[in-house]
Amino acid sequence: MDRKVKQERVLVAMSGGVDSSMTAALLLEQGYDVIGATMRLSEDSRESLSGENNGETPSSVADAQRVADVLGIPHYVFDFTASFEQTVIGYFLDEYQRGRTPNPCVVCNRHIKFGALLQKAAELGASYIATGHYARVERGADGIYRLRKGLDLAKDQSYVLYHLNQKILAHVLLPLGIYKKEDTRRMAEEYHLPVAHKPESQEICFVPNDDYKAYMRKKRPECCRPGNIVDCLGNILGQHEGLAFYTIGQRRGLGIAAPTPFYVIALDAEQNHVVVGKSDDVYATQLIAADMNWTMWHDLQSIREVRAKIRYGKRDTPARIMPHLRGSVLVQFSEPQRAVTPGQSIVFYEDDIVLGGGVIDVVANDISDAR
């Protein structure tokens, strides 16, 4: 590998997958002083509890170490299990208990990857932290850092990074944002990385064997109490297995015999009710988002026309946002949106620039409902 003169030190979060491995390789090629780090996050991980590694080093750590050896860079393993349990798993379980659908990857990025790991980077003398996310960070002539979508819109991961503010963006490198996934795998082959063809994991990393129901019953059995399925008027139509096993917009698995399908439109944690309605009831035109973060300013000062994305993998859509109570934001969509889900993140864009985002708190169809 033809390396340039080394520049500033960067800590690369290495999961053992192809994306983070190529992140390390690219930054090394660009001349950075690269060190790798893998995070131990949970004793309940797929690898820990599935017997996948027969009690040996988890494959994520082993694969990252193999890549580090090929690249000739130092590799560290940091144990964040305690903080991950408190900030991510605790949040995950609490949200389900509240009848909401959590987004643990966003919370992990915010508190662990760009929180605890960024602090470790500073302790190791690194000026930057780098990850394998498909997004871009650019510093404009005005000195402002802008978080942008990845050029490969099919792979873009800017949605899960909306919490990054100016202070953090100044220390973040995202070299994969200009590439397509197939380019990443091709380059990994050219670099002879041993994980070039390692498949991607789609499951929640801390749920063993992707057995979500068993995990919830073990960790938070009170979320799994059976209760009534009711319509908007409170009429009992059936029984549910536990609020944690249902999500907004769900049609299958309700066990309700009716001429036209019912869909989950709300989860009432106080009454332990799954509320269902017809297909039109799944759509909403407005919501209130809370726990806001803005990438380029402190808070929203005026009404803005934006594009909004209500879940990962969904296309963004035109919307108007305006300041609401106690730092929250009122969002009005140009077209009704299906299955707007409390607990999920909503992220706002202007062109390909991430303005910020927050957590969907209240879903409504008129302003009086939303207050």
Q: Is the pLDDT of residue 54 over 50?
A: no
For residue 353, pLDDT beyond 60: yes
Residues 23 and 157: their CA atoms lie apart, in Å, by: 15
At residue 177, the pLDDT reads: 98
- What would the pLDDT profile of 10-49 be if each residue is shown by its tens digit? 999 999 999 999 999 999 999 999 999 999 998 765 444 3
- Domains 9-132+174-209 and 225-277 agree in fold: no
* Cα gap 77→194, rounded to integer Å: 19
Q: What is the pLDDT of residues 356-365, one digit of tens each?
A: 999 999 998 6
Whole-number pLDDT of residue 125: 97
Q: What topology does CATH give the domain 225-277?
A: SH3 type barrels. (2.30.30)
pLDDT cut 70: percent of the chain above it: 92
Q: Where are the domains of the chain?
A: 9-132+174-209, 225-277
The reported pLDDT for the residue numbered 142 is 96
Q: What is the pLDDT of residue 203?
A: 67
Residue 147 has pLDDT above 80, yes or no: yes
Sign of CA dihedral 58, 209, 113, 64: positive
Q: What is the pLDDT of residues 167-184, one digit of tens each?
A: 999 999 999 999 999 999
Q: With bands split at pLDDT 50, 70 and 90, how would you rate the model's confidence at 59?
A: confident
User: What pLDDT is recorded for position 288?
Assistant: 98
Q: How far is CA 282 from CA 157, 167, 241, 338, in A?
A: 26, 39, 21, 6
Q: What is the pLDDT of residues 268-308, one digit of tens each?
A: 999 999 999 999 999 999 999 999 999 999 999 999 999 99
The pLDDT score that the predictor gives to residue 208 is 87
For residue 126, give the amino acid letter: A
pLDDT at residue 113, rounded to an integer: 94
HEC letters along the chain: CCCCCCCCEEEEECCCCHHHHHHHHHHHHCCCEEEEEEEECCCCCHHHHHCCCCCCCCHHHHHHHHHHHHHCCCEEEEECHHHHHHHHHHHHHHHHHCCCCCCHHHHHHHHHHHHHHHHHHHHCCCCEEECCCCEEEEECCCCCEEEEECCCCCCCCHHHHCCCCHHHHCCEECHHHHCCHHHHHHHHHHCCCCCCCCCCCCCCCCCHHHCHHHHHHHHCHHHHCCEEEECCCCCEEEEECCHHHCCCCCCCCCCCCCCCCCEEEEEECCCCEEEEECHHHHEEEEEEEEEEEECCCCCCCCCEEEEEECCCCCCCEEEEEEECHHHCEEEEEEEEEECCCCCCEEEEEECCEEEEEEEEEEEECCHHHHC
Task: Please give the pLDDT value at position 368.
Answer: 55
Confidence check: pLDDT of 166 > 80 = yes
| Residue 2 pLDDT exceeds 50 | no
Give CA–CA dist 215/131, Å, rounded.
28
* Superfamily of domain covering 9-132+174-209: HUPs (3.40.50.620)
Report residue 58's pLDDT band, with 50, 70 and 90 as the boundaries. Answer: low
What rounded mean pLDDT belongs to the chain? 92
Interval 214-248: pLDDT, tens: 999 999 999 999 999 999 999 999 999 999 999 99
pLDDT value for 229: 98
User: CA–CA separation, 351 vs 353, rounded Å?
Assistant: 6
Catalytic positions, written as ranges: 108, 205
Q: In this predicted structure, what is the pLDDT of residue 364? A: 81
Structure confidence by residue, pLDDT tens digits, 94-117:
999 999 999 999 999 999 999 999
CB atoms within 10 A of CB 335: 10
Q: Which residue has the tokens 């996934």?
A: 181
From residue 59, alpha-carbon distances to 50, 75, 145, 181 in Å are 12, 15, 35, 22
% of the chain surpassing 90 pLDDT:
85
Q: Which residue has the tokens 């999961």?
A: 15
